[in-house]
Structure 1
C-alpha cells in the first residue's frame, strides 16, 4: 500500500472496536473493569456494511461502553463468525487498549484481588531503558480480556502516554 505523506489531521479518537466471541461475557468483563454499563446495545444484519469491512455480510450484536473520552464498541459477529487472533504484543497488526490509573498500586492490587490474571509482573520505567527521560517512573501492567485482547493499565509520569 502506498500512502501519501499529506497530513490528514486526525487527532482525536472516537472509539475502539473490539471483536468478541460472547457479547454478554464481554459486557460483564468490561463493565466490571470500567464500572460503567453499556450506553447502547443493538443488532445489525447488513451486506453493504459488511462490505465496508471486507466481509460478505455483517450480522452482529454490539454494545458500547463509554469511558472518559473514548467509546469501547464490543462487537460479536454472528455471520460471518471470525477466528480468534490470539494476538501477542509482538505481532505486527496487534494492538492494545490502555487505561489510565491515578493510583496504579491501588488499582493493580484491587485487580489482582479480584482475580485479573496479569501477563507478567507490573513494571516501572527506569533510566537507560526508555526515552524521553520524562517517562521515568511510569508504571504499567498488561492483561487480556476473555478473548485475548491485550489491555494495559498505566500511571504515566511527566506527560508520557497522554
Structure 2
C-alpha cells in the first residue's frame, strides 16, 4: 500500500482495542491489573455496516472499556460473529502490538505481580550501555507478559529522556 508522506497530525490516542475470546475473563484480568472498574461493562452491538467498516461481513460483539489515568481507554472486544482465530501474540510477528504500562517503582510492581501469579515471558530487563541508542534510555527497566489471549503487555520505568 502506497501512502503519502504528508503528515496527518494524529498525535492523541483515544483508546486501544484488544480482541478477546472471553469478555468476562478479560474484564477480571484487566480489573486486577489496573485496579479499575469498567466504565462500560457489557455492551453489545450487532451491525453489518460496522462489521464492513472493519473489513468483516458483519460484527456481533460484546465489549467493555476500562479507562486509565491518562484518559487512554482499553476496549476489550469479544467478537461473537465472526469469531476470529488467536494471533499467537509473538512479539516479533509483523502486525503484533503491545500495550505498555508506566510504573514509578518497577521493582515493587514486578515483585507484586510475580507474587500474584503473573507469568512474565522472561526475566525483567534493564537497558545497558552499548545496547541502546540514545543513551537516555540507559537504566530503563522493562518486563513483558501476556493477557489471557496472548496480547503482549509491558511494564516500564523509563529513565532520563526515554519516552515510553
TM-score (norm 2): 0.97
SS of alignment partner, residue 51 of structure 2: helix
Q: 2:134 aligns with which of 127, 132, 135?
A: 132
Aligned equivalents of 1:89, 1:81: Cα separation in 2: 23
SS of alignment partner, residue 31 of structure 1: helix
Match of 2:17 in 1: 17
Gaps of 5+ in 1: none
Match of 1:159 in 2: 161
Gaps of 5+ in 2: none
Match of 2:53 in 1: 52
TM-score (norm 1): 0.99
* Aligned pairs for 1:77-116 within 5 A: 77-116=79-118
Aligned equivalents of 1:23, 1:77: Cα separation in 2: 9
Aligned equivalents of 1:7, 1:32: Cα separation in 2: 38
Match of 1:144 in 2: 146
Q: Post-superposition shift, 1:161?
A: 2.5
Aligned equivalents of 2:89, 2:95: Cα separation in 1: 9
Aligned equivalents of 2:36, 2:133: Cα separation in 1: 34
Instruction: Provide runs of 4+ in structure 1 moved above 3 Å.
Output: none
SS of alignment partner, residue 155 of structure 2: strand
Aligned residues: 162
Aligned equivalents of 1:158, 1:44: Cα separation in 2: 44
SS of alignment partner, residue 152 of structure 1: strand
Aligned equivalents of 2:114, 2:154: Cα separation in 1: 14
Query: Does residue 12 of structure 2 align to residue 7 of structure 1?
Result: no
Match of 2:123 in 1: 121
